[in-house]
Amino acid sequence: MKLTDRLIKIMPAYSWIPLATAFSWNMIVYSGSKIIAGDWHHYNIETQLDLAIPFLPWTILIYFGCYLFWIANYILSVRQGQEETWRFLSADFLAKCICLFFFLAFPTTNTRPEVVPEGFWGTLMHFLYTVDSADNLFPSIHCLTSWFCYIGVRGRKNIPVAYRTFSCVAAVAVFLSTLTTKQHVLADVVAGVLLAELCYFIAGHTRLACWYGDVFSRINSSLRFHPKGETAGEK
């Protein structure tokens, strides 16, 4: 069996370019805004409740582990048919555009604890703080993407209830980990969840998903990037 045939069994060919685009756009938004606004004034929107949340270095396992969760659930989400794929990924695209607006118009920061690179947890936390500066916090892309992972499988009867439940619990665990690693504050978490829901609603009640699907269907068609027997515009 060819490699492409094996990949198609994992995720439909029509989703390859849109998924790659979603990943690339996420990196551009997050890294690009850091380059642009890195030296700008950043607002601290911490509350007393945020300061009362304990610092739990071991929860970095959840914070880092969520990347596997994202990969699995984004693939599951684009296996639900083209119509749902266009809605899901167009909502993701819109959400990241709004994130970019906030990262530039209202850059935020927070207070991080002093971490010594000693021991397993200390070394991991020091690494995280070194590679990820305290900016681009509101809304939280970590929480936004994790909630999209739940939205993508929510209500899907072809996905076991146990896994749908797990996805919800996993997303909430990620929310908590962003707080206990002091990567985000409560406002960042709430904003990420609400933004995901808002953009998914917009994508399902406007022509956004249709426009998005038309663009990528044309790209897929021009590159002959769709399975045999499936037309590029098929929903």
pLDDT in tens, 36-53: 999 999 999 999 999 999
Q: For residue 46, what pLDDT is reported?
A: 97
Determine contact, residues 234/125, Cβ cutoff 8 Å. no
Question: Which segment of 62-76, 114-128, 196-210, 213-227 scores lowest on mean pLDDT?
Answer: 213-227
Q: For residue 8, what pLDDT is reported?
A: 76
pLDDT of 167 over the 60 cut: yes
Query: Rounded to an integer, what distance in angstroms lies between the CA atom of residue 216 and that of residue 107?
Result: 32
- Percentage of the chain exceeding pLDDT 70: 93
Confidence of residue 9 (pLDDT cuts 50, 70, 90): confident
Q: 110: which 2 tokens?
A: 């927070």
Confidence of residue 223 (pLDDT cuts 50, 70, 90): confident
Q: For residue 222, what pLDDT is reported?
A: 87
Query: Rounded to an integer, what distance in angstroms lies between the CA atom of residue 212 and that of residue 226?
Result: 16
- Nearest 5°: the CA angle 108, 23, 156 is 100
Query: Rounded to an integer, what distance in angstroms lies between the CA atom of residue 117 and that of residue 80?
Result: 44
In the chain, what are the domain boundaries? 48-222
pLDDT of 235 over the 50 cut: no
| Range 137-163 average pLDDT | 97
What average pLDDT is seen over the chain?
A: 93
pLDDT of 187 over the 90 cut: yes
Q: For residue 11, what pLDDT is reported?
A: 86
Q: 106: which 2 tokens?
A: 């209202």
| Range 105-121 average pLDDT | 95
Question: Residue type at 35?
Answer: I
